[in-house]
Amino acid sequence: MRYMADENGILYLCATPIGNLGDVSERCLEILKSVDLIAAEDTRRTLQLLNHFGITKALTSYHEHNKKAKGEYIVKLLKEGKNVAQVSDAGTPAISDPGEDLVRLCIENGITVTSVPGPVAGITALILSGLPTGRYAFEGFLSVNKRHRHEHLNAVKNDPRTLIFYEAPHKLKTTLSDMRSAFGGERRIALARELTKVHEEIIRTTLDGAVEYYEEKPPRGEYVLVIEGAKPETAGDEECFWSNMTVAEHVERYISEGMDSKAAIKAAAVDRNVPKREIYSEYHKTK
Min dist. Cβ of residue 62 to ligand SAM (A): 14
Is 164 among the residues that bind ligand SAM (CB under 6 A)? Answer: no
Choosing from 24, 106, 120, 191, the residue that interacts with ligand SAM (CB under 6 A) is 120
Closest to ligand SAM by CB, 226 or 268: 226
DSSP per-residue codes, the chain: ------SS-EEEEE-B-SS-GGGS-HHHHHHHHHSSEEEESSHHHHHHHHHHTT----EEE--TTTHHHHHHHHHHHHHTT--EEEE-SSB-TTSSSTTHHHHHHHHHTT-EEEEE----HHHHHHHHH-S--SSEEEEEEPPSSHHHHHHHHHHHTT--SEEEEEE-GGGHHHHHHHHHHHH-TTSEEEEEESTTSTT-EEEEEEHHHHHHHHHHS---S-EEEEEPPPPHHHHTT-S-TTTTS-HHHHHHHHHHTT--HHHHHHHHHHHHTS-HHHHHHHHHHT-
Q: Map residues 239-258 to x or -, x wherever contact with ligand SAM holds by CB under 6 A.
A: --------------------
Min dist. Cβ of residue 121 to ligand SAM (A): 3
Is 176 among the residues that bind ligand SAM (CB under 6 A)? Answer: no
Choosing from 21, 168, 263, 270, the residue that interacts with ligand SAM (CB under 6 A) is 168
Is 219 among the residues that bind ligand SAM (CB under 6 A)? Answer: no
Min dist. Cβ of residue 141 to ligand SAM (A): 7
Closest to ligand SAM by CB, 18 or 78: 18
Stretch of residues binding ligand SAM (CB under 6 A), selected from 28-36, 104-112, 217-225, 258-266: 217-225
Stretch of residues binding ligand SAM (CB under 6 A), selected from 100-108, 172-180, 195-203, 241-249: 195-203
Is 139 among the residues that bind ligand SAM (CB under 6 A)? Answer: no
C-alpha–C-alpha distance, residues 88 and 44, integer Å: 11
Strands 223-227 and 188-193 turn out to be antiparallel
- Name residues contacting ligand SAM, limited to 40-99 (CB under 6 A): 88, 90-92, 95-97
Is 122 among the residues that bind ligand SAM (CB under 6 A)? Answer: yes
Q: Which residue is nearest to ligand SAM (CB)?
A: 91
Is 166 among the residues that bind ligand SAM (CB under 6 A)? Answer: yes
Kindly list the residues in this chain that would bind ligand SAM in the complex (CB under 6 A).
Answer: 18-19, 88, 90-92, 95-97, 120-122, 166-168, 192-197, 222-224
